Structure formats: C-alpha cells, structure tokens
Structure 1
Amino acid sequence: MFRKLTSLCFLFLFVVSTSAFGQLNIGYLNTQEVMSQMPERPQVEQELNSFIQEKRQELQQRTTEFQDSVAEFQQNQENMSEAEIQKKEKQLAQMEREMTQFQRGLQQQIQQRRATLLEPLYNKMNEAISTVAERNDLDFVINEATSNGENVVYYAASEKMDITKQVLQYINETSDQN
C-alpha cells in the first residue's frame, strides 16, 4: 500500500512538473479487458488447459504407481527378508521424493507454459498500445488497474483519455489481416 501511494505521489509530481513546462498528453487503458477480448485468447486458454490436463494425468499416473507399489509392499512384507524390506523401503522413499519433486516442478512448468503462450498476446497488445498512443499524440499511457485489480486511475476528466476501445479495435483490425 505504501509503495502504491509513493508511486502515485511521484507520478502526480511528475505530471504537475511537466505540465508547468508544456502540455502533457496522458491516456489510460484496462489491459485486463484488452487481454480478455483478444481474438487469440480462447486458443491460448485451450492450449494451456490441455497442457494442464496432460500434466495432471501424468501426476495421477505417478501417484497411482506409487500407491500400487506401497500396497504391494504391505501385502508382501511378511514374506520378505529384512534386507529386502529395507531395499523396498528405500525404493518407495525414492519414488515418493521423485513424485514430490515432480509436483513442485509441475506448477513451475505451468507458469512457464502460460508465459510462453501469452507472450505473443502481450507483444501484440504492446504494439497496439504504441500505435494508438502515437495516433492520439499521447506522451504516456497508464494501466487503469494493477494486476491484482487495484485502481491506478481513480479519475479522468475525459473519456477520450481511455484508449481501451481503440486498442481493441486496432487488435481486431490487425487480426483480421493475418
């Protein structure tokens, strides 16, 4: 919260100081709205969901294999020598460590895949923002809200400053051309 207030104060001071020396044109947009309405978004979500489902099935398979091995060990433990029991317990412990490591790595793999799939969309959105900002002779474009939904722009004197619809229109026009 303190960082947000500090950032807003610095932004306000910057705007006031630059306004004293000349006209400053600032626009804002809602990047979450832009991302949610991009034509490629459903395909990206489908690919990501397929990847997640594939990894969940792999995790389920490993879990089932581990559970089967534990059940088999418990069932046959009475007929095993002490050395065989110790060897099998070591194998099961190793399987459990590998499964835990796989679970930890799974979230990282999903995040990496999400970033890889979303990168072209972010690049396209950034290109659209730049183009619309240049067309409107804007010096700055501010994101209307932070990634966790907190407002950055609380008030705008004019709706003309909101370039969200223009950015979406540009993206849709350039998507039709591809």
Structure 2
Amino acid sequence: MKIYTKTGDKGETSLVAGVRVLKFADRVEAYGTCDEANSQIGLALSLLPESVDWKELREVFHVIQTKLFHVGAELATPEGKKVGWPIGEEDVTFLEGQIDKLDADLPALTNFVLPGGHPAAAAFHVSRTMVRRAERKAVHVAQQEQVNQSVVKYLNRLSDYLFVVARHINKQTATAEQTLHE
C-alpha cells in the first residue's frame, strides 16, 4: 500500500465510514489538533533527561497517546456511525488518578506558573496548550453534532495532567518554576 492516495488532492478528506468532507471541516480540525498534540507529546517525551528513571511516566504516556489516538478516531466518526474505540468515563478516571498521584508530591500552587523550566517540561506545556485547543474544537463540534461527552472530559483532564507532568519534571530535574509577578 502506498502512503499517498491522491484522494485529498482537491481539498477533501474522508471521515470514518468514508464520508467525504472538506479538509477544514470542524471535525477534521478537531481530530487534526489531537494529532498535533499527540506528536508534541512524543517530542516532549524525547526530551526527558536520562538522569532520571521515567519508566512509569513513559508507560502512562503510552496509554495516553493511544487514548488520544482513540479520541481523534471518535472525532473523525460522523454522527450515527459506530466508533471503533470509544472513550469512556474510566479513561477520564484514569487521568484523574494520575493527576492526583503526581500532584500529591508537588508544592502547593500559590501563584500562576509560567510555562517553561526544563526543556521537557516546556514541551509538555506546549502539549497542554494544544490539547486545550483540541478541547475547544471538540466542544465546537459538539455544539453542531452529537459528540461523546467523555471525549471533551478526557481532553480537559489531559490538559490538566500535562500541566502537572510539566511541574513534576521541573521538580525531578531540580529546575525552578517561574511564577507570575504581580
């Protein structure tokens, strides 16, 4: 199978089940943003320093990146079509558990944290903002068509998790967090 199909040469693409839409359709924007965020997470993971054992974090991110692919698949599935890998409340709960686990070991927030710090942490902050954009686009789609509400919740929790991961990386690498000056 060739990587190029030439079916998108006129500005259209296929959703799941072969439904053709313009490449700038809201669903395409939403799942495309999930793909961007997933790629950015991969970049962020590649920046983790080897001086710390990140095995458990990498295992969690393997699950998250797979689920983010599933979120994209849900957003690429038109209303009324069967979703191959549905996102459920258990996926949201999984993220909440991971947030609680990492957050318990972090200093309490007393001010807004500016994105940055260790390069890996900064990259996870960028991932966070991309996931927030994906969430906004998913909400926009949900205003027009039926969208599994667990998808929106998952994206919301994922951005929270990415924030906590960035703080965790800064702590593990002894990199000071910068906060907002008032």
Superposition TM-score, scaled by structure 2 size: 0.27
Structure with bigger gyration radius: 1
Structure ranking higher on relative contact order (CA contacts 8 Å, 6+ apart): 1
From the two aligned structures, give the one with the greater helix fraction.
1
Superposition TM-score, scaled by structure 1 size: 0.27
